[in-house]
Amino acid sequence: MAYNRCMSHNRPFTLNDLREARIHGKPLAMLTCYDYTTARHLDETGVPMLLVGDSASSVILGHPSTLPVSLDFMIELTSAVRRGAKRSLVMADMPFGSYQESDQQGIRNVLRMVKETNCDCVKIEAGVFSVSLIERLSDAGVAVVAHLGLRPQTVGLMGGYKYQGRTAKQADQIVRLSQTMVRAGASALLLEAVPPPVSQKVVQVTDVPVIGCGAGPACHAHVVVLQDLLGLTPHPPRFVPVLEKGSLQDMVRRFVDLVESGAYPDSSQTYEMPPEEQDKFKRNVQTI
């Protein structure tokens, strides 16, 4: 696989390697990470990609949502992870309030994140409002990952953490928005908590890597929160695999193996679209 070649040549995993995974159909593992020591262990264990997620708001700081975490805090965490990860790709999450006010605010804060942390790419929870921001960041040479589907920063609007794309209308909106994000210049997409037919269609109609977070087997990479994987949280999402307890390295290796072999995710780790809605969706996507 692409990452093994990186390891053998002792070079960093890059977006080009993720693009190669899309071409060759070899799925890749990704885990969240929030500190130097853990980053060093994950990097040495062979995790190709690390996400410094705003999930740190909950699993590190104890908040009930991702909303309270600050940009300064995310920059500190990303810098620490970057120092620990010599070969893994490092993706930085842009926190709530750091890019929604205006394109000018978003550009300023994203460029600050990149300059101060040396991260490889940034992730934003994207909507129609994000198009011009992604266009301008892409023109400036920043790799942006557009996060679609369940967007935790909109938990207040959604009324809770509910999987998306359960109706044909929702699914159609996600697929069309994914095309819009790619046209705007997004380097990759991250789909969270959507049924497999949705991610499968997104993969078909776009030409960038698609990272799944509870989004089914069609995705080119799969990410879960490390603390959920290790069994350290009380109610992990259904898409997190249950692993036999062991050392950090052993459990991480098992996750990487499950992803690379295609055994993860299985049907018990995905979300369902009602059959009647799936039929409507299939009819709708013929026009996309």
Domain 2-285: top CATH class? alpha beta
Q: In whole angstroms, what is the distance from residue 199 CA to residue 149 CA?
A: 10
Evaluated on CA atoms 174, 179, 184, 186, the torsion sign reads positive
pLDDT band at 152 (very low <50, low <70, confident <90, very high): confident
Q: What is the pLDDT of residue 172?
A: 96
pLDDT band at 125 (very low <50, low <70, confident <90, very high): very high
How many CB atoms are located within 10 Å of the residue 202 CB? 30
Name which of 96-100, 131-135, 162-166, 185-189 the model is least confident about.
162-166
Q: What is the pLDDT of residue 286?
A: 65
How many CB atoms are located within 10 Å of the residue 70 CB? 15
Q: Which residues, at least 6 apart from 108, have a Cβ–Cβ distance to it below 8 Å? A: none
Phi-psi region of 11 (alpha: psi -120 to 50; beta: other; left: phi over 0): beta
Q: Is the pLDDT of residue 147 over 60?
A: yes
With a threshold of 0.85, does the pTM exceed it?
Answer: yes
Q: In whole angstroms, what is the distance from residue 257 CA to residue 33 CA?
A: 19
pLDDT band at 3 (very low <50, low <70, confident <90, very high): low
pLDDT band at 11 (very low <50, low <70, confident <90, very high): confident
Catalytic residues: 192
Q: In whole angstroms, what is the distance from residue 234 CA to residue 228 CA?
A: 8
Q: What is the pLDDT of residue 282?
A: 87
Arithmetic mean of pLDDT over the chain: 93
Burial of 92 (0-12, 13-18, 19+ CB in 10 A): buried
Which is nearest to 73 in space by CA: 88, 94, 59, 100? 94
Rounded to an integer, the average pLDDT of 117-143 is 97
Q: Tokens at residue 168, please? A: 């044909």
Q: In whole angstroms, what is the distance from residue 36 CA to residue 85 CA?
A: 8
pLDDT band at 2 (very low <50, low <70, confident <90, very high): very low
Q: Tokens at residue 122, please? A: 């940034």
Cross-strand partners of 222 = 29, 212
Rounded to an integer, the average pLDDT of 111-140 is 97
Q: What is the pLDDT of residue 5?
A: 46
**pLDDT tens per residue across span 86-96:** 999 999 999 99
Q: Is the pLDDT of residue 6 over 70?
A: no
**pLDDT tens per residue across span 34-65:** 999 999 999 999 999 999 999 999 999 999 99
Q: In whole angstroms, what is the distance from residue 48 CA to residue 4 CA?
A: 9
Q: What is the pLDDT of residue 159?
A: 60
Q: In whole angstroms, what is the distance from residue 42 CA to residue 38 CA?
A: 6
What percentage of residues in the chain have a pLDDT greater than 70?
Answer: 93
Q: How many residues does the chain have?
A: 288
Q: Is the pLDDT of residue 29 over 60?
A: yes
**pLDDT tens per residue across span 172-222:** 999 999 999 999 999 999 999 999 999 999 999 999 999 999 999 999 999
